[in-house]
Structures are given as structure tokens and as C-alpha cells.
Amino acid sequence: MPDQALEGYKVIDLGWHIAGPYCTKLLAELGAEVIKVERVGGGDPARGMPPFFGDDPHPEKSLLFLYLNTGKKSVTLNLKTEKGKKMLRDLVRDADLVVENFHPRVLPGLGLDYEALAKVNPRLVMTSITSFGQIGPYRDYKASDITGLALGGLMHMTGELGREPLTYGGWQSQYQGGINGFAASMTALFYRDMGQGQGEGQHVDISIMESIAQILEFFDLNYQVTGAIYDRSGMRWANAPAWGIYPCLDGYVGLISGPVRRWLQFAKLMNEPELADPKYIAQRKELADDIDALMLPWLIEHTKDEIYHAAQNMEPAIPASPVRTPEDLINSPQFKARQFFVEVEHPVAGRGIYPGPPAKMGETPMQIGRAPLLGEHNQEIYGRLGFSSKDLDALKNEGVI
């Protein structure tokens, strides 16, 4: 049995920034050999994105790049040159998967689209992750992370009633596209190797906008059936007197009251008999400010961990949740017990504590290695294609690698 589930699989990572690299990061953690093809000179633009280790804007110290590219091998290649295109085709010849998140016009313009690469390797699976997909009237539009959240509909659901929609922290639509790219890539490989695919590859088309629209639960379906438009509710959710994020002594805590029985537990937890008055269930929306006024004095006298454990130890329990800071996450006893965070040593950036893999597999554990230096594996990877050190020096002088 292999040490890791995808050991023996070869992935060509043409991704840059976030969505594509996150997809291939997960594949690398499962044991696939992921060869990251980077631009000659600067490499993946994520290398230039802050923050940096030691606040030093060095291409090997971007925290985002280091996180997204753990366990990969880096080669440099100029895909605008004929020699570079040929070398990529040679790399693809025995690859299982190519992942890319360029604009839809880029690879066809270079003659390196799926149809061209499939002629070299009919078994190839190619996953393209773009803002809007390979077809449709928006295909060629420019986009950012907020674009996917807005056009996908998720922002309409996020924020306080009567206020403007809110976005999410980080690059959440990009990660959602990367997750879907990972799942679809794995499914296509399974179909090729173990299903009814009989060894044939295929092109997987991932739209980030659709990745967001897919997680709206039943709200768009509800509109079709009833005509009702789900609006933002924030902490004033219609079915509960208290539902959302509240301030406390050392930060914030999430509270969900839910059914009547649990609301009575709130009154008991906060030692506030008045909260048990049935009117707060019957008129939860109208009396929301009064409910908050009764809760807040107790909340701001207690820490988020005190509230969390006290609520969880109620019978029945109240599903409270402290809003964790980065410091809280690193020191979380739950994360420590599961050994989620791992130390990774990088030759330039040094030692860092990285989030671990998203799953624990009993027989084929996911593992994290360090991110590669730019072009670190040129000799190893291109040596497999028959290039000598002298050949590589010449290609470097020509600007091919």
C-alpha cells in the first residue's frame, strides 16, 4: 500500500495566485507529485503578495505563496517561446492532470488548450478554474474575489437587515473554486482509472461564480417556488431571539438560541429570569433591542472561553462559540490535541507554523512539505526529459527557463 493516497500521480500546476494553487496544494498533500510551472523571472505573482516573513518583500517570503504551494516542485518556463511550449508538451506526455486558472483566452492563444494537450496525452485530465467558466457572456470579463461573492449571490445574504451587503475576509470565493477544482479533478481521475472512462481523460470546467451560487442552500430555489427573497438578518434572525455574534469581556462570542427550550437555557445561563418571559419568543423581532439589553451586561463580564464552556456544559447544551483570533487558534487545546498545526522549515523564510491538512486519513495520511524556491527543481524535472546541465544553461540564457 502506498504511503499516500495519490503517490505515483503526476500533476502539472499551471496555476497562479490562489484558486489553482489551492487545488494543487490539496493534491500535493495527498502525495501527488505536483510540478509547479512558473514564469521566468518573477514566478507566480503570489510571490509578490504581502504579508512577508520578517516584513521583507522577498519572492521566497510571501506568506500566501508559502501556504498555497506546500509540497510542490518548481520549474521555470517561458510558455511564449516555441521551445517552452514543446517542453510543456513533453512534461504533459506522462502527466495525469493539468490544473490552470488563467483567463480563458490564454492557453488557446498559446496553442496549449485541452484539445492540443490531449493529442499529446489522451489520458490527460485538465482542470480549468476561472471566474465565470469557459463559456457564457461573462467569460472574458475581469474579476476579483469580491466579484464571485457578489455575482454568485452570497453577499446578498451577508450583513445586517437594512444595511449594505458585506463581503468575507480573505479570498473565500477563490478557495471555494479551488476546493471544487480539487473534488472534480479527483472525480475525473477516478472515472478514468476505476470507473467507466476506459482510460480516457477529460476537460473539467470550474466557474468560481457558480461555486458560490452552489452554496446558497435553498434560497434561490425558494425564490422560484414562493417568490420570497431571503434578506440579510445578521443577529436578528427571525426564528430566534439571539442569533449571531455578541461582544464579551475579551472579544466576541457566537450565540444561537433557537427553540424555546434553548432560550430558557439562556435565561438560566445568564442568571436573568426576565429573559424567560414568553414575550421574547413571541415578539423576538420587535423586542430584539430589549433582548440585547438584558443579555449584554452578563456577556461583557465574562470571557469568551468562560461563556463557551459554561454554555456547552448546560443540559441541554447551548452551541456557543468564541470568535478565535490567530493567537487563540495556535493555542487551541482542540487543535493541539489533533496536531493540526505543523512546523515547516523553509531555507529562506525559516521556520513557520502552518495550518495542517483538512483531513486525517488513517492509512494514507496527508502530509505537508515546504514550498519550493523559484525554479528549484529545473535540473531534476528537465533532466527527466533528457536535458543536461549544459542544455539548461543554454535555455536559461535564451530566456526559455
pLDDT for 1 equals 46
CA 187 vs CA 115, 117, 122, 184, 202: distances in Å: 20, 20, 17, 5, 11
Cβ burial of 155 (10 Å; 0-12, 13-18, 19+) is buried
User: What is the DSSP secondary structure assignment for residue 256, as one 8-state letter?
Assistant: E
CATH 3.40.50.10540, the chain: domain bounds: 10-215+338-397
Q: Are 60 and 53 in contact (CB under 8 A)?
A: no
Which pLDDT score, from 0 to 100, does residue 275 have?
Answer: 86
Looking at residue 128, its amino acid is S
Q: Output the pLDDT for position 239.
A: 59
| Cα(314)–Cα(364) distance, integer angstroms | 38
Per-residue pLDDT at 95: 98
Cβ–Cβ under 8 Å, residues 7 and 31: yes
C-alpha cell at 362: 488513517
Cα separation, 115 vs 128, in Å, equals: 13
Q: How far is CA 53 from the centre of its chain?
A: 21
**pLDDT of the residue at 258:** 66
Give, as one character, the DSSP assignment of residue 62.
B
Cα gap 229→222, rounded to integer Å = 8
Place of cell 495550518: 355
User: Which residues, 6 or more positions from 191, have their beta carbon under 8 angstroms from its beta carbon?
Assistant: 197, 202
- Dist. CA 280–CA 241, nearest whole Å: 7
Reported as a single tens digit per residue, the pLDDT across 175-222 is 999 999 999 999 999 999 987 878 999 999 999 999 999 988 777 777
Backbone dihedral angles phi then psi of residue 145, each to the nearest 5 degrees = -60, -40
User: What 3-state DSSP class applies to 220?
Assistant: helix
Find the DSSP H helices in 166-207: 172-193
Q: Is 130 helix (H, G, I), strand (E, B) or coil?
A: strand
Which residue shows C-alpha cell 475576509?
A: 169
DSSP bridge pairs for 23: none
250 grid coordinates: 475579551
For the chain, the C-alpha Rg in angstroms (whole number) is 25
The gap between the terminal CA atoms of the chain, to the nearest Å, is 37
The pLDDT tens digits for 319-362 are 889 999 999 999 999 999 999 999 999 999 999 999 999 999 99
Q: How far apart are CA 385 and CA 401, in angstroms?
A: 14
Write out the three cell numbers for 394.
543554454
Quote the cell numbers at residue 154: 452570497
CATH class name, domain 10-215+338-397: alpha beta
The pLDDT of residue 279: 86
Q: Which residues of the chain have pLDDT under 50?
A: 1
Q: Identify the residue whose cell numbers are 495556535.
A: 330
CATH 3.30.1540-classified regions of the chain:
243-324
Which residue shows C-alpha cell 448546560? 314
CB 342 within 8 A of CB 357: no
| Other beta carbons less than 10 A from residue 134's beta carbon | 15
Q: Which pLDDT belongs to residue 237?
A: 62
Nearest to 264 by CA among 252, 253, 273: 273
Asked if CATH classification 3.30.70 holds for the domain at 243-324, the reply, yes or no, is no
Distance of alpha carbon 98 from alpha carbon 177, whole angstroms: 16
Cell of 173: 470565493
CA atoms lying within 13 Å on the CB side of residue 320? 29
